[in-house]
A = this chain, B = another copy of it.
Amino acid sequence: MTKRIDFQTDPSRYRHWRVEYDGQVAHLYMDVDEKGGLFEGYELKLNSYDLGVDIELADVVQRMRFEHPEVGAVVLRSGKPNVFCAGANIRMLGGAAHSHKVNFCKFTNETRNAFEAAGAESGQHYIAAVKGACAGGGYELALACDHIMLTDDGSTTVALPEVPLLAVLPGTGGLTRVTDKRKVRRDLADVFCSIEEGVKGKRAVDWRLVDEIVPNSKFDERVKARAVEFAARQSGKAGAKGIALPPISRSFGEDGSVAYSLVEVQIEREKGLATVAIAGPDGVAPALLDELHAQGAQTWMLRLARELDDAILHLRLNELELGVIVFKSQGDPALVAAHERLLLDNQGNDWLSREILLYWKRVLKRIDLTSRSLVALIENGSCFAGFLAEILFACDRSYMMEGAFEGDNRPAATMTLTEGNFGPFPMSNALTRLETRFLGEPEAVETARGHVGEALEAEEARDLGLVTFAFDDVDWEDEVRIFLEERASFSPDAMTGMEANLRFPGPETMETRIFGRLTAWQNWIFQRPNAVGEAGALQRYGTGTRGEFDMRRV
């Protein structure tokens, strides 16, 4: 699996999904091309999916929000006659490296969360219209929707057969959404997750597994009515005109570097290091909303979000051995704040302003959840203001230049807080990054707020607790170098586990439980011979022979 996985696509290239727009209702058909697997060695039968299928789905969800803001209901259906979706492709999972499996699951989880966010934040409600077998990852797709409709045709079931069939967990949020979103009684959940054949009809409603069952003859009609009903909640955006999301500008260097229009990814392979350099605005903020809409995908904050999102995903899936990501920026922090200001001021009355901010919320969460050591270097000439300062607080640590640096005539290193640091970009634990940072000293959040708009230099930023370390010209280079060398020498597994625990203190949400608890157990199981060994259930699947298990419990 050494080919480069590309997270960029568009409808003209879809092989697995089809979208039809009908006013405020979008019809989304899953119709997976068996021969369209991302890698060799498996066929995507029965609407099973691999990462390639999910990349297209993520693109659908993303485009819906920017290109079709008028949509208020998305009906998710199968394009195949007798199956809704059979879940993640087992042969693909059986053949994939541990690191690919884990990153695949993380991306699919993020995409499922994006469904739910679309409903909650933008009134784009996903409705699963389930006809035909809906198993494993297929039911997890449905679970991420706001409403699940099940045909009562005597054979259609929902099922989570992973445990009895494959000796792994329903790990794309399945277990967590069953208990925490649908609130299925825990003993019934135990029964449901233990039976291969699943649950159908009235029992599926009684057990809270689906929202309604519909006689097969009335299914299409009822689905249509339900879609109209959901869409009507969102009538305010009926006339909204979307903006197009054309391909992003991107080129790959021979050394693995990537150059976007505003983001540069440099690779130092022998150091296990990727540096992500962000360029500030290349112009003043749009003065009016009309100008913002006219700029569309080219407006600085949206362009940067798309490029940075792609860069992070590229590093996650294609550059597995780079354990440390360093974030830098260069630009005018006042311009950054001005661009953000326009959106913050208009988020209540302009869908595009709101969507760009919400996209940043997702991008920043993607950074939080990236299992690499994240380090910010706040150098002279930096523009970490507002939402870009959030990157500092997403990092495991930050280093800031202090005082004059010989031969460096860039403006002194600063960071600038804005109102953007106090609400619009919560982490998945539902706190802002500053609230998370100052869990032990909540008053420090208010103190920091008193400095909104100031370009804070190193000493002040350190005193406010906003950076980890500040070093002057004498120490900077050595301190940063020694730290990066040391970090790169640690066991990547220990780093992953440590960061997953330290980054999310405080309250838990369904999201943090999916990424923290469910994922960790799944990763453990993905290492255990009972699942992935030669005689394990995942390897034996489809051979007609059951897995052999070491019966020792832990």
Contacts and interface: CB of A to CB of B under 8 A. Distances in A.
A486 B323 CA distance: 43
A552 B502 contact: no
Contacts of A490: 163-164, 167, 194, 549
Interface string A523-550: 1110110110000010000000001011
A27 to B, nearest CB: 30
A188 B505 contact: no
Interface string A433-466: 0001111110000000000000000000000010
A320 B553 contact: yes
A186 B506 CA distance: 11
Interface in A159-194: 162-164, 166-169, 175-176, 178-180, 182-191, 193-194
Contacts of A508: 507-508, 513
Interface stretch (A122-130, A146-154, A418-426, A493-501): A493-501
A469 to B, nearest CB: 8
A320 to B, nearest CB: 4
Nearest to A190: B396
A523 B320 CA distance: 22
Given A398-B187, A491-B530, A525-B493, A502 B554 contact: no
Contacts of A527: 524, 527-528
B187 A99 contact: no
B520 A521 contact: yes
Contacts of A372: 553
Contacts of A501: 169, 175-176, 179, 517-518, 521
Nearest to A507: B508
A216 interface: no
A497 B524 contact: yes
Contacts of A187: 395-398, 437, 468
A80 interface: no
Contact of A440 (B99, B182, B498, B550): B182
A551 interface: yes
Contact of A493 (B103, B191, B524): B524
A228 interface: no
A436 B186 contact: yes
Given A183-B505, A501-B169, A524 B518 contact: no
Contacts of A102: 554
Nearest to A374: B190
Given A440-B185, A508-B513, A528-B527, A491 B396 contact: no
A227 to B, nearest CB: 25
A140 to B, nearest CB: 13
A207 to B, nearest CB: 10
A71 B502 CA distance: 35
A492 B552 contact: yes
Contacts of A18: none
A544 B82 CA distance: 61
A391 to B, nearest CB: 13
Nearest to A516: B517
Interface string A92-135: 00000111001100000000000000000000000000000000
- For the complex of A and B, the 8 pairs showing the least CB-CB separation, nearest first, are A183-B440, A520-B520, A167-B491, A179-B505, A102-B554, A497-B521, A508-B508, A175-B501
6 contacts: A492-B530, A492-B553, A492-B554, A494-B531, A501-B521, A517-B517
Interface of A: 97-99, 102-103, 162-164, 166-169, 175-176, 178-180, 182-191, 193-194, 208, 272, 320-323, 371-372, 395-398, 436-441, 465, 468, 486-487, 490-503, 505-508, 513, 516-518, 520-525, 527-528, 530-531, 537, 547, 549-554
Given A321-B551, A491-B547, A493-B525, 5 more contacts: A169-B494, A179-B501, A187-B397, A493-B524, A520-B521
